[in-house]
Amino acid sequence: MADRYLSLTGTAPGRFLARRLGLPQPAQLKRWSAEAPALAGDLLHLTAGKSDLDLTPVLDRTGLTRGENQPAAVVLDATGVRDVDTLAEVHAALHPVVRSVATSGRVLVLGSPLDPADHHQSAAQQALEGFTRSLGKEIGRGRTVNLLRLTDATAAESTLRFLLSPRSAYVSGQMICIDAGEVTAPADWDRPLAGRTALVTGAARGIGEAVAETLARDGAHVVVLDVPADEPDARGVAERLGGTALALDITASDAGERIAAALPDGLDVLVHNAGITRDRRLVNMPGDRWSSVLEVNLGSVLRTTDALLASGALHSGGRIVTTASIAGLAGNAGQTNYGASKAGVAGLVRALAPRALAERGVTVNAVAPGFIETRMTAAIPLFIREAGRRMNSLAQGGLPADVAETTAWLAHPASGTVNGQVVRVCGQSLLGA
């Protein structure tokens, strides 16, 4: 369903009315397209504290022009901030330029991992989280603010490219950690998944379909998995993308084994997108509504992941991307079952990620969508739907493509240093951190 309020406030009379009534004035976000794959404008590189990062080669490959005109993106290297005094340099660097950042632009703060042996450094670096989240809530005009903790710019190239591009339009207020380690750049950054196989569950429609489309755009052969009842739709998506349809109930006890049998050459990317809701307050929730949601959203993810890792069907160096939700991170009335299942997904990611990487070279991450414009949210009553759309720093709902682009970044072959992360795709929802 179209966001008529967003369309209205994009007109001169609508902007005037919103200003007079003190209503939100969302900006039309600039998302990726083949015609406009990069942000339009300069990239401004600033520093606070003494930094040892060599950012120049990576920043020169983002597609942005280095300059000091109206910036489309500002990168503040604050990895050298170690105490309260150098925190003042963060203010001094950004205070003069924040107002000039282009509509739908980016502010990216780079920080260091916390040093447990230095409580002054840890305090100063932790302060950057509160700073970026607060700036994200006030900066407006469709601009995003994120914090990236890293020690090596080369290891973070795929993430820097993502956060400084239109692909991250609905990702704001996030803190992402990059591990140290070697990464292999793809032969073609425009088609990084060429020659790889990706399986997406629940891909016949909605967010899953968007994920399948984006991975196919990036070169993957996509296996579109959905329940047998939706096989015609899944087959249609697969045919359009040059992929393969697989009709399978993901909750089947042998789903993992059947996937492995259907893909004798294995797979490189596993995206757990399938999910259901059965909303009701706990006092009115029968056991079957609880168990069905936990089985689809969490139980099947655990079983299938275990089976594909154990069998070796998921190739070494592969990627697992699961779907959490802000309902699992912040809670939501009437969704104790859904919130429990999605919080469980986050727990799975954090526990499995280090082991899967050490044993198989496989990364495990999650996307956590907020209010995304789908058929499901279109069915929400009007006033609740409008509240869901506006209760984030960008004052609008996201699109399935926003979740898909974030998934594609996590699935990227050069994202091997991104592991154990739960990244909210919510426009910096005002619910939770």
Confidence category of residue 5, pLDDT binned at 50, 70, 90: confident
Residue 413's nearest CA partner among 224, 244, 163, 215 is 215
pTM beyond 0.95: the answer is yes
Q: Which two tokens stand for residue 202?
A: 């629940």
Confidence category of residue 68, pLDDT binned at 50, 70, 90: confident
Q: Quick one: CATH architecture of 197-425?
A: 3-Layer(aba) Sandwich (3.40)
Q: DSSP per residue over 91-148, as a string?
A: HHHHTTTGGGSPTT-EEEEEE----TT-HHHHHHHHHHHHHHHHHHHH--TT-EEEEE
CATH class of domain segment(s) 40-177: alpha beta
pLDDT(87) > 60 = yes
Confidence category of residue 79, pLDDT binned at 50, 70, 90: very high
* Opening angle at CA 378, ends 374 and 382, nearest 5: 145
Q: What is the chain's Cα-based Rg?
A: 21
Residue 242's nearest CA partner among 265, 202, 272, 213 is 213
Catalytic residue among 338, 345, 400, 414: 338
pLDDT reported for residue 384 = 80
- What is the percentage of the chain residues whose pLDDT exceeds 90? 88
For residue 356, count other CB atoms closer than 10 A to its CB. 21
* Segments of the chain assigned to CATH 3.40.50.720: 40-177, 197-425
Is pLDDT larger for residue 261 or for residue 15? 261
Write the pLDDT tens digit of every residue in 329-381: 999 999 999 999 999 999 999 999 999 999 999 999 999 999 999 887 777 77
Q: Which residue has the tokens 């606070």?
A: 48
Write the pLDDT tens digit of every residue in 100-143: 999 999 999 999 999 999 999 999 999 999 999 999 999 999 99
Sheet-wide strand order for 144-149: 65-66, 42-49, 71-80, 106-111, 144-149, 175-177
CB 206 within 8 A of CB 402: no
Residue 244's nearest CA partner among 212, 208, 205, 211 is 212
Per the annotation, the verdict on 5 as an active-site residue is no
Cα–Cα distance for residue pair 230/235, rounded to 1 Å: 9
